[in-house]
Amino acid sequence: MKKVYHNYLNWEDWKHGMFNLKDDNESVSIQKAIDLLSNPSALKAVMRHVAYYWKCSAEMNLTNRNRNRQAWLGQAACCYQYKVPEYLTKRAWHLLSEDQQRAANAVADQVIEAWENYYAQKTIK
């Protein structure tokens, strides 16, 4: 799979505030991220939505195997669902148990695999 690049002005994650450096209610946002990241079924639904509907951001991040694609999907899911910026999702991640982290990564791996299969079919045409 070839890496795809898009100008940041087209990134849906950027447009939705994923890279904001300030959140006026950090503790609430961290808790929302914890709640989503620790709920595999809800997380999978949001990750799937992000992977398929944030087309530019997904291409940028999921075609680049040198990135931590699991982390991007988790951060993007928290941003999409609750407008939590990535720096707070990172804090939330470190508050999860190892089992919760493993479960979230397993969900991300499932979504990445499904997206890769979809993307391969889309680009073959």
pLDDT tens-digit series, residues 48-99 = 999 999 999 999 999 999 999 999 999 999 999 999 999 999 999 999 999 9
In the predicted model, what is the mean pLDDT of residues 17-41?
96
Q: Where are the alpha helices (DSSP H) in 39-97?
A: 40-53, 55-62, 69-82, 86-93
Confidence of residue 123 (pLDDT cuts 50, 70, 90): low
Crossing angle (nearest 10°) for helices 40-53 and 98-124: 30
Task: Give the separation between CA 55 and CA 98, rounded to whole angstroms.
Answer: 31
The answer on pLDDT for 125 being more than 90 is no
- Mean of the per-residue pLDDT values of the chain: 94
Q: Pull the structure tokens for residue 17.
A: 């505030």
- In the chain, count of helices (H) and strands (E)? 7, 0
Q: pLDDT: is 123 or 49 the higher one?
A: 49
Q: Which of 70, 73, 87, 67 is nearest to 19 (CA)?
A: 87
CB neighbourhood size of 1 (10 A): 11
What is the phi/psi pair of residue 7, to 5°? -60, 140
The answer on pLDDT for 120 being more than 90 is no
